[in-house]
Structure 1
Amino acid sequence: MKKLLLFFCLLRLPALAQLPASPRQLYPGLFEAVQLARVYPDNKTFVDAVARQPPAQVMAAYARQKDQPGFELRAFVDTYFTAPAAAQAHYQSRVAAGLRPHLDTLWTVLQRRPDSAAAGPGSSLLPLPYPYIVPGGRFREVYYWDSYFTILGLQQSHRTPVIRHMVDNFAYLLDHYGFIPNGNRTYYLTRSQPPFFALMVSLLAEEEGAQSLVRYQPQLLREYAYWMSGADSLQPGTARRRAVRMPGGEVLNRYWDGSAEPREESYAEDVAAARLSKQAPAAFYQNVRAAAASGWDFSTRWFGPDGQLGSIQTTDLVPVDLNCLLYYLETTLARTYELQGHATQAAAFQAKAKSRRNAVLRYCWDAQAGWFQDYNLPRHQRSTIQTLAGVYPLAFGLATSAQADKVAAGLQSRFLRPGGLLTTLSASGQQWDAPNAWAPLQWLAIDGLERYHHPALARTIATRWVRLNADVFAQTGKLMEKYNVVNTQLKAGGGEYPTQDGFGWTNGVLLTLLNRYKLAESR
């Protein structure tokens, strides 16, 4: 009966659109040549470039010219493609005016108009019907999990119409593609990201009333169906796509990408890294892509015992953070049915949430370490890597009070540094490891600590993070994608691209913390 109800709810949604071709599919041969030759230093530049002629004409011209004497690949690309420019390249912040005016201005600088007219056969952009906020820098499109933390700041800025537009854009993507892609680009159509849509809808409901939850119920159901696809046919200890059946029969989830090819936006990096891995290329690429789906690309969290990218094993791991987010989605769906007076359906989703919570506590809680950790399905054991993903059970209310106390003690003794909380305890050179820190994880840790009655530690983390953000802004006039919280005089590093500024989720979390704790903008 429960499956039938879900089926009929999904039937009422529009038919899914056929997936458009990605740059590698449109320009076979040319694409690989451009990316491997590093025509642009950043592989993301070419996949974001817009063709000046229809793809078939571009490929015909390439076939005619590529073997002619004196052919220059860069000149050909410049002739047939328009490379993207940094959207805020001409924006200059006024440091003397202070952080708040800067943040308020950035919402306008980072906002994009509806792009149905701009996106065409020569562009990788997936058109969206409403305005949206991009992160900044090389990230010229909307990103899924980034947007929730951006929306936190939009709420503080009383920009409810912008929030509604953001939520409506994600609902549009769910209706057209059956899931929310990593970003609104064709080359992201094989994966999603951490499922924060339910949190966005809940935040909008704070502004516009509980009926917002009911209004987006069809899209919430569609996202749930995406994550749970294939779960019913699984045997214990097996996984399919994003669904995992645990040894005890419980259903949890993992990160997954439907492609086993190099990422188009990081093609040269993936090809080079695959040569150094002992894994078969297809398995390596799928693990790399799954890590990109997690948002944590890359971290020793996903690596094997040698701590190297070549041993990446993302698809083997059942992530604690993902399952907390899906717990929240299940409780939100239960709430949507309660609001409609549908007690049976509400009880069904409450039962799903309860089962997931029990499974997270069973498989991810390490009592000896006093920490929530990912679970390695093939090895039938918890990961030994401690990361800030361990704060999610506090942020979403799954932890017991005793567990939360131990996590708080671990944050204080192992993760807290002069600028905030480390992402992991490993200094590997990867961007999602020490000494780096990221605004979303600071927020979730702070919010989780407040939920479990550790206000002093929450305030300490918030104060250190705000001070670091403010100091870097005073020195550079910018807010960054990530920060070094160990040596606050140095920039964060690691990753496949330089540190980006803008920056959507940093802005949103910073403004929320300034207001929540009534903190000064500078020392």
Structure 2
Amino acid sequence: MSNPSSACGPKESGPIVATTPLVKFLERVQETALQTLGPNGFDPKLYVDLSLKQTLSATVKAFDNLPRNGSGSVSAKELNRFEEEYLGGAEEDLELSSPVDFVPEPEHFLPKVKSSEVRAWALEVHRLWKNLSRKVSGRVFQNPDFHTLLPLEKPVVIPGSRFREVYYWDSYWVIRGLLASKMYETAKGIVHNLISLIDEFGYVLNGARAYYTNRSQPPLLSSMVVDIYKRTRDENFVKKSLPALLKEHAFWNSGIHKVIVEDAHGSIHTLNRYYARWNQPRPESSTIDKETASKLSDKCAKEKLYREIASTAETGWDFSTRWMRNESDLTTLATTSILPVDLNALILKMELDITLLANAIGDSATANSFRETSLARKKAINSIFWNAEKKQWLDYWLTTHPVSSEEVHKWKASSQNKKSYASNFVPLWIDLFHSGLVRSGSKKARLVAQDIAEKWVRTNYVAYKKTGAMHEKYDVQKCGGSGGGGEYKPQTGFGWSNGVVLAFLEEFGWPEGLKFDCL
């Protein structure tokens, strides 16, 4: 799957995972559409989500024969005619699906919610699962080469709007919401689909599209399995899931994601980073990536930037200044040169989860092995990431660039490498902050988490009443304000937002007298 990346030097090179012939062709259609239609309101993802009505060779031939003017552009009329004859719509490879375990009012739904107003709204959010439930069309299974959508066996819950496929870390909060809705079979089906990606590719992809095969996202599959197991006590589900979790752990702890660091005392530690196996514009965001790289004239510098952009997408963080050397310049992204403290904490949790799950099914050898692995990682996190002066665990910045992308790299730790980063205030990925506070074990931190949850639920409610929709992002500075910024127009739907609200209400509830509108 991996090939040498380019003729650029070792500082820019690294492994790549080649995309499919269909994706490459749809990128040509995308470029032509941009020429024809112009950049205003142009969504590059739309074009790489299209499917074929005829064979790729026949479609390419027809496309190459389209009449063009002197500048190489195709008229809007000719482009529309071509698309209607040869290409299927971006949403035609998914069909509406009615979840087998959905009921309008689940038994024992959100027992801690005492407010009738909040309960009524929570049931509205719960009913959105039906709107977001899909199954992959039989056409995708019959002719997978005609589609960029990957064939997944079980029904899925999509985020919504332009996101017409399953995404990895979105699925964690979707599952948390489904568990609150007592939809255990749907939650298990999502895990089944993610495991099928591990079986085929060796890791969970960023999303279920052919153009996402070059990167993953924050590893949360073990958390999904543990959460489902704690609700259902289904040992067969654990037995089916555990081999995939071992494969995912091996993926993150080998090759380009693995970094060996020597601490100030000479002890050697193994830690991890994000590193996409890609060095071109992302097909789903190509126009944006090319515009970002247009400041650079050197081909190898552009390839390096494209790798950093894709690696930043692998983090799930969007484009936070956390990953930049210069906070005002996106071309200074340096994600592959950072050991993120949260990624390593997630992998520590994965190791603890595997220990728990292995014990649950009587696999003491695996449990003991991963208990030892988790202890080593905990020691590494405290040694490399802890900053005594700030009393925080901070990201660790590698001081130089890797010599060879396929090697395991060894670095010396120094206090200067532990960087803090500016807060990126709007929009907020609320789950990052809330989860850390809840799991800290501190009563004070849990109270802060509850306060955050109340404010978050309130702003979702007010925005919903104003717009009639759940949103992807929210403005944390304005109660009821949806978030802006980023690479694309903020979306509605919205799978993970629904899950977060239901999970928060299940965990903390809502007392009868607590104000629900903006304070």
1:384 has 2:399 as partner: no
In the alignment, is the contact (CA less than 8 A) between 1:150 and 1:508 conserved in 2? Answer: yes
- Distance in 2 (CA, whole Å) between partners of 1:84 and 1:493 is 24
Report which stretch shifted further, 483-492 or 309-318.
Answer: 483-492
Kindly provide the amino acid, as one letter, of the partner of residue 72 in structure 1.
Answer: S
Percentage of matched positions with identical amino acids:
30
Deviations 1:117-143 (A, max 9, x none): 345332210010000101111110000
- Distance in 1 (CA, whole Å) between partners of 2:224 and 2:441 is 20
* Higher RCO (CA 8 Å, separation ≥ 6 residues): 2
Kindly provide the amino acid, as one letter, of the partner of residue 245 in structure 1.
Answer: I
Cα distance change on mapping 1:20 and 1:475 into 2, 3 Å: same
Partner of 1:111: 133
The DSSP-based 3-state class of the residue aligned with 2:259 is strand
Pick from 88, 96, 99 the counterpart of residue 82 of structure 1.
Answer: 88
- Distance in 1 (CA, whole Å) between partners of 2:240 and 2:167 is 23
Kindly provide the amino acid, as one letter, of the partner of residue 285 in structure 1.
Answer: Y
In the alignment, is the contact (CA less than 8 A) between 1:115 and 1:128 conserved in 2? Answer: no
1:305 has 2:326 as partner: yes
* Alignment map for 1:117-516 (pairs within 5 Å): 117-118=139-140, 120=143, 121-209=145-233, 211=235, 212-230=237-255, 241-248=256-263, 249-277=268-296, 280-378=301-399, 380=414, 381-386=416-421, 425=423, 433-449=424-440, 454-488=445-479, 490-516=481-507
Partner of 1:100: 122
Partner of 2:32: 33
Shift of the alpha carbon at 1:368?
A: 2.3
The DSSP-based 3-state class of the residue aligned with 2:271 is strand
TM-score norm. by structure 2 comes to 0.79
- Structure 1: state its 5+ residue gaps: 1-17, 90-94, 231-240, 387-423, 426-432
Deviations 1:410-435 (A, max 9, x none): xxxxxxxxxxxxxx52xxxxxxx222
- Distance in 1 (CA, whole Å) between partners of 2:441 and 2:36 is 50
Kindly provide the amino acid, as one letter, of the partner of residue 295 in structure 2.
Answer: L
Cα distance change on mapping 1:285 and 1:35 into 2, 3 Å: farther
Cα distance change on mapping 1:490 and 1:309 into 2, 3 Å: same
Kindly provide the amino acid, as one letter, of the partner of residue 46 in structure 2.
Answer: T
* Residues paired across the two proteins, number: 447
Cα distance change on mapping 1:437 and 1:504 into 2, 3 Å: same
- Distance in 1 (CA, whole Å) between partners of 2:429 and 2:352 is 27
Shift of the alpha carbon at 1:229?
A: 2.1
Report which stretch shifted further, 213-222 or 467-476.
Answer: 213-222
Kindly provide the amino acid, as one letter, of the partner of residue 270 in structure 1.
Answer: D
The DSSP-based 3-state class of the residue aligned with 2:62 is helix
Tell me the C-alpha RMSD between the 2 structures: 2.8
Partner of 1:44: 45
Deviations 1:136-175 (A, max 9, x none): 1111000000001010010010001101111111111111
Report which stretch shifted further, 337-346 or 179-188.
Answer: 337-346
- Distance in 2 (CA, whole Å) between partners of 1:497 and 1:61 is 31
Cα distance change on mapping 1:466 and 1:445 into 2, 3 Å: farther
- Distance in 1 (CA, whole Å) between partners of 2:349 and 2:452 is 25
In the alignment, is the contact (CA less than 8 A) between 1:364 and 1:382 conserved in 2? Answer: no
- Distance in 2 (CA, whole Å) between partners of 1:342 and 1:72 is 64
- Distance in 2 (CA, whole Å) between partners of 1:99 and 1:382 is 47
Kindly provide the amino acid, as one letter, of the partner of residue 323 in structure 1.
Answer: N
Cα distance change on mapping 1:251 and 1:62 into 2, 3 Å: same
TM-score norm. by structure 1 comes to 0.79
Shift of the alpha carbon at 1:456?
A: 2.2
In the alignment, is the contact (CA less than 8 A) between 1:274 and 1:310 conserved in 2? Answer: yes
- Distance in 2 (CA, whole Å) between partners of 1:330 and 1:497 is 35
Cα distance change on mapping 1:354 and 1:260 into 2, 3 Å: same
Partner of 1:522: 516
- Distance in 2 (CA, whole Å) between partners of 1:107 and 1:27 is 31
- Distance in 1 (CA, whole Å) between partners of 2:509 and 2:118 is 20
- Distance in 2 (CA, whole Å) between partners of 1:35 and 1:182 is 25
In the alignment, is the contact (CA less than 8 A) between 2:19 and 2:211 conserved in 1? Answer: no
Deviations 1:52-97 (A, max 9, x none): 22211111112222447884263334443233259999xxxxx999
The DSSP-based 3-state class of the residue aligned with 2:139 is coil
Shift of the alpha carbon at 1:502?
A: 1.0
- Structure 2: state its 5+ residue gaps: 1-16, 97-116, 401-413
In the alignment, is the contact (CA less than 8 A) between 2:358 and 2:364 conserved in 1? Answer: yes
Shift of the alpha carbon at 1:444?
A: 1.2
- Distance in 2 (CA, whole Å) between partners of 1:67 and 1:223 is 48
In the alignment, is the contact (CA less than 8 A) between 1:22 and 1:187 conserved in 2? Answer: no
Deviations 1:370-417 (A, max 9, x none): 33221101265445334xxxxxxxxxxxxxxxxxxxxxxxxxxxxxxx
